[in-house]
């Protein structure tokens, strides 16, 4: 068994020695006076982090929406193409069934189509003419004339033209009378306005009162007079 190790004596002067502490007055002042500043900085940092997170969330949602729309569009195109293929297949089958290659009685496909033939236009029967119809016992004459349909009934086109001319003449006469009456009325009103203007010019002009601001002394005198008057009225009320 080895002998016990000897304990070394520690130098109390070296172990209890305290390192020199140096204070930075500027850093200490900044720490003591910067609580509000650091609080505002933390709030700003939190707001920026929230805005960044919200922006990233919007970008992610838009990306997912674009992907979803793209998938829906592809599915829709597939469905439309499938429907078109089915329709085209059915039309091709019906066309093959309807066509008979052995039937060439109509001349085959060598004949050229010259288009639709123009039919002759029907003859238009003119108006204002007479037709005669003869039966075994009766003789009838029919007169065809152009007519106009209105609320009053059927009228001849010539009569309407004559009525329109007569109405135009009457309107012209009435318009002439109205124009003459309007001209005379305008002359009368012009004479009245001239006479009124002359009457106004002949009247003597009223002199306008000139407004004048009171000076400081005038206002002081007016207040003193009002004060004396009020005191006299109060004294009279007390005596009465």
Between CA 74 and CA 147 the distance in angstroms is 67
Give the model's confidence band at 233: pLDDT under 50 very low, under 70 low, under 90 confident, else very high. Answer: very high
| Cα separation of the two ends of the chain | 135
Q: Which residue has the higher pLDDT, 61 or 192?
A: 61
Mean pLDDT rounded to a whole number for the chain: 74
Whether 110 and 101 have beta carbons less than 8 Å apart is answered as no
Threshold 0.75, pTM exceeds: no
Q: Does residue 101 have a pLDDT over 60?
A: no
| Cα angle value 89/92/97 (rounded, 5°) | 125
Q: Does residue 126 have a pLDDT over 60?
A: no
Mean pLDDT of 27-51: 92
Whether 103 and 94 have beta carbons less than 8 Å apart is answered as no
Between CA 67 and CA 88 the distance in angstroms is 31
Whether 127 and 144 have beta carbons less than 8 Å apart is answered as yes
Upper half-sphere CA count for residue 133 (Cβ side, 13 Å):
5
3-class state of residue 139 by DSSP? strand
Give strand ranges (E) for the chain.
129-134, 139-144, 147-150, 153-156
Q: What percent of the chain has pLDDT over 90?
A: 25
- Number of residues in the chain: 240
């Amino acid at each position: 068994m080895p002998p016990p190790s000897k304990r070394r004596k520690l130098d109390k002067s070296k172990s209890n020695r305290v390192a020199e502490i140096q204070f930075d007055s500027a850093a200490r002042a900044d720490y003591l006076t910067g609580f509000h500043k650091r609080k505002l900085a933390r709030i700003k940092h939190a707001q920026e982090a929230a805005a960044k997170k919200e922006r990233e969330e919007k970008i992610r949602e838009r990306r997912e929406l674009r992907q979803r729309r793209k998938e829906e569009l592809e599915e829709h195109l597939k469905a439309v193409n499938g429907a078109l293929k089915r329709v085209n297949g059915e039309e091709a089958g019906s066309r093959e069934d309807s066509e008979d290659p052995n039937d060439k009685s109509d001349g085959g496909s060598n004949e050229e189509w010259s288009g639709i033939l123009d039919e002759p236009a029907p003859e238009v029967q003119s108006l204002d003419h007479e037709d005669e119809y003869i039966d075994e016992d009766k003789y009838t004459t029919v007169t065809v004339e152009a007519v106009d349909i209105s609320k009053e009934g059927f009228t001849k086109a010539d009569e309407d033209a004559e009525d329109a001319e007569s109405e135009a003449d009457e309107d012209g006469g009435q318009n002439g009378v109205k124009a003459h009456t309007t001209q005379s009325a305008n002359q009368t009103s012009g004479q009245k306005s001239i006479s009124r203007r002359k009457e106004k010019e002949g009247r003597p002009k009223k002199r306008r009162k000139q407004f004048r601001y009171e000076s400081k002394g005038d206002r002081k005198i007016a207040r003193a007079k009002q004060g004396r008057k009020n005191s006299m009225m109060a004294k009279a009320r007390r005596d009465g």
